[in-house]
Amino acid sequence: MTELTYLDASREALAGEMRRDPRVWALGEDLGRGGVFGQYRGLAEEFGPARIADTPISEATIMGAAVGAALVGSRPVVEMRFSDFALCAVDELVNQAAKARYMFGGQGRVPLVVRQPIGMWRSSAAQHSQSLEAWYAHIPGLVVVAPATPADNYGLLRSAIRCDDPVVYMEHKDLWPLTGEVPVAADGGLVPLGRGRLVRPGHDVTIVTWSRMVQVAEAAAAEPGAPSIEVIDLRTLWPWDRAMVLDSVRRTGRCLVVHEAVQAGGFGGEIAATVGEELFGVLKAPVRRLGAPRIPVAYAPVLEATSRITAGQVAAAAARMV
Amino acid sequence: MPASLVDRPQPDRANIDRARVLGHFRTMARIRAFEEAADQALKDGHVKGAVHLSIGQEGVASGVCANLDRGDFITSNHRGHGHTLAKGADMTAMMAELFGRATGACQGKGGSMHIADFQVGMLGANGVVGAGIPIAVGAAHAMKLAGDPRIVVCFFGDGAINRGPFLEGLNWAKAFDLPVLFVCEDNGFAATTRTRAVTAGPGPAARSESLGVPSTPVDGNDVVAVDAAAAELVARVRAGGGPQFLHARTYRLRGHTAADPAPYRPAAEVEERWLDDPIRRCRDLLALQGMAEAELDRVRADAVAEAAAAVADGLAAPHPDPALAWTDVQDVDMAEPATVGAGR
């Protein structure tokens, strides 16, 4: 075990996969100098500028070129800098990467990872703060990952790079400095895609969450007077760990879904609906969602806070269900 | 169209390679026969989706692809049957794909706009204008990265030059000095609008040149000229000369889709353009070189028979098993088809 930040864990994961497989390479803006957050620091020195490629500010072509490169046998890791910028590359991701294998009848595969940092971070305002995971979970052909811990950022990124289908990999910017034990190994520490993590057991309410909100849910569960809360970190949004969620809610009888993304149309709706469809008879309370209001994320901290879900809100929501 | 386009002075054809020109005539005849058969099959209800015919543009596909090896790659657009056939794809599998049959090139999952044949390096037609450009650039990038000698040709139309990926992709190709040949098939139309009416500046060549990608103009309806120009550009790309651009002027003799009667252009214009049909011009050239009319007729008849056989095979081919709808989506979470209505 090695103590690493969430940021360093991702770098170790990419470096490990690049050492292991010469077909893996990374492309995006400013990667040579370490990437906008430093998550590529030192990689150009080890692997050279061809495999840690500095690209023009051309998100559509960063993504589209990765599709072409993947179709002919390489394994690109795409950096989009901010998930908000990846919106410039939605055709390339949704119409090309996600569809190529299917519409060509399995002749081609698109083994790429597109890293899209999400979330509110230091007053980044409306165009650098979004959490758009639900958009991609909606698209057949895409795997969607949102790690919450250093160990998961290490193990999930390695698994994502080994996945033969396109993976939308959403790291949370606010988690970069988070430290934790990471099982770094030349060929280990992998976390399977599609498996949730039981963060803490409880018997009154199941909180289903992911990314930055895992910490918030843990803090809520630890608040004095809170009901006994079981916290599940989904880790992968598609495919999501239905079995883990349904097993838990069968025991607790209550389900609260918490996400940083706007609540309306968020992925919490999919989870809530599934729990309602599958477990109507055992539910002790209506399934609840807690997400951001449907407003753009603002700049001024006092306004930005309106969009931020707090541990107090989560604890209160859970308490109201019991 | 000015008469000068028909009566233009011909380059010196004294040293023409007759067998090679006959090869072009055969390739173009096969494309034409395929397109005509697909058009009829659409009318007969056998083709379900939209079809974009490349009738009139066969010279570009044949002239360029004759200079490629089987392992080289191409990307194409929504009007991609000609490029695909010229690259060597199987006509029977292509027709079956248009018919949505299990034996189709893409198992019936793609149809006309997503025809692909990876065995011959055809990385896919595309339903989104200009979308093949970044994909071609990325394939070329991967070749350079791997030290692989194969090159990429990217076909697109004049309408695509107004999309962002055109600028981004050409810039990228030049910035990374990639082995890619861009082929702009300038047929004068962006769907059903005349491209020049919605395009600023002098057009495709100037835009390419502005990015340092040298452009070579060619009469796209003169297959011999296209072949010669493409030979030169492909050689440059293979030799590490970086991206090249071929601006091929041609004309779309049919509507945007097969169902489009193209009322937005005068019938006289189209009639005049038929005089400039690349197949007719190639045939005239071969006849001038002493090829017997009967022999040329036979090439055409063989192509028509091949297309008719492809139609017959396609009609006899099985429809896909409905379970095929669930395959090749993605590996995770697709172990077994979900219950219908479960929404998974």
Comparing CB atoms, the residue among A96, A106, A239 nearest residue B135 is A96
CA distance B256 to chain A (A): 22
Cis peptide before A239 (omega within 30 of 0): yes
β-bridge mates for residue B215, sequence order: B245
The SS3 assignment for A89 reads helix
Residues of chain B neighbouring A142 (CB-CB closer than 8 A): 330
Distance CA A142, CA A133 (A): 11
Comparing CB atoms, the residue among A61, A73, A239 nearest residue B142 is A73
Q: Do B135 and A101 touch (CB under 8 A)?
A: no
Q: Which of B99, B330, B333, B336 to mutate to test the interface with A (most CBs of A within 10 A)?
A: B330
The residue of chain A with its CA nearest to that of B144 is A50
Whether A26 has its CB under 8 Å from any CB of chain B: the answer is: no
Q: Could you check whether A2-182 and A197-321 share the same CATH topology? A: yes
Provide the pLDDT for residue B334: 63
Residues of chain B neighbouring A21 (CB-CB closer than 8 A): none
Distance CA B299, CA B276 (A): 20
Q: Do A165 and B135 touch (CB under 8 A)?
A: no
In order along chain B (344 residues), what is the average pLDDT of each group of 10 residues?
45 76 98 98 95 98 98 98 98 98 97 97 97 98 98 98 98 98 97 96 98 98 98 98 98 96 96 97 95 97 98 98 96 58 42
Per residue in B28-42, pLDDT (tens digit) is: 999 999 999 999 999
Q: Do B333 and A194 touch (CB under 8 A)?
A: yes
Residue numbers in chain A where pLDDT is lower than 70: none
Residues of chain A neighbouring B106 (CB-CB closer than 8 A): 103-105, 107
Q: Which residues have CB under 8 Å from A201's CB, separation 6+?
A: A230
β-bridge mates for residue A207, sequence order: A231, A256
Q: For residue A96, what is the DSSP state?
A: I
Question: Which fold does the domain A2-182 belong to in CATH?
Answer: Rossmann fold (3.40.50)
The SS3 assignment for A294 reads coil
Amino acid at B220: G
Per residue in A23-68, pLDDT (tens digit) is: 999 999 999 999 999 999 999 999 999 999 999 999 999 999 999 9
Q: Do B329 and A74 touch (CB under 8 A)?
A: no
Query: Which of A153, A156, A202 has its CA nearest to residue A8?
Result: A153
Provide the pLDDT for residue B14: 61
Provide the pLDDT for residue B11: 53
Per residue in A240-271, pLDDT (tens digit) is: 999 999 999 999 999 999 999 999 999 999 99
Provide the pLDDT for residue B143: 98
Q: Which of A47, A92, A102 to mutate to test the interface with B (most CBs of B within 10 A)?
A: A102
CA distance A276 to chain B (A): 13
Comparing CB atoms, the residue among B127, B146, B168 nearest residue A74 is B146
The residue of chain A with its CA nearest to that of B170 is A61
* Residue A282 phi, psi (nearest 5): -105, -5
Provide the pLDDT for residue B188: 96
Distance CA B158, CA A68 (A): 22
CA A202 from centre of chain: 24
Residues of chain A neighbouring B146 (CB-CB closer than 8 A): 73-74
Provide the pLDDT for residue A188: 85
Provide the pLDDT for residue B9: 45
* Residues constituting chain B: 344
What residue spans of A89-231 are helical by DSSP H?
90, 98-103, 133-137, 150-162, 213-222
Whether A60 has its CB under 8 Å from any CB of chain B: the answer is: yes
In chain B the domains, ranked by start, together with CATH numbers, are 16-192+202-317 (3.40.50.970)
CA distance A149 to chain B (A): 22
Whether A91 has its CB under 8 Å from any CB of chain B: the answer is: yes
Cβ-based contacts under 8 A for chains A and B:
148
Provide the pLDDT for residue B301: 98
Q: For residue A305, what is the DSSP state?
A: G
Provide the pLDDT for residue B333: 75
* Residue A271 phi, psi (nearest 5): -70, -45
Provide the pLDDT for residue B341: 39
Question: Which fold does the domain A197-321 belong to in CATH?
Answer: Rossmann fold (3.40.50)
Comparing CB atoms, the residue among B106, B138, B331 nearest residue A69 is B138
Q: Do B118 and A108 touch (CB under 8 A)?
A: yes
Residues of chain B neighbouring A73 (CB-CB closer than 8 A): 142, 146
Residues of chain A neighbouring B131 (CB-CB closer than 8 A): 64, 91-92, 95-96
| Residue ranges of E strands in A210-252 | 229-233, 236-238
Q: Do B134 and A61 touch (CB under 8 A)?
A: yes
Comparing CB atoms, the residue among B165, B168, B330 nearest residue A143 is B330
- A128 as an active site residue: the answer is yes
- Domains of chain A, by residue range, sit at 2-182, 197-321
Per residue in B160-211, pLDDT (tens digit) is: 999 999 999 999 999 999 999 999 999 999 999 999 999 999 999 999 999 9
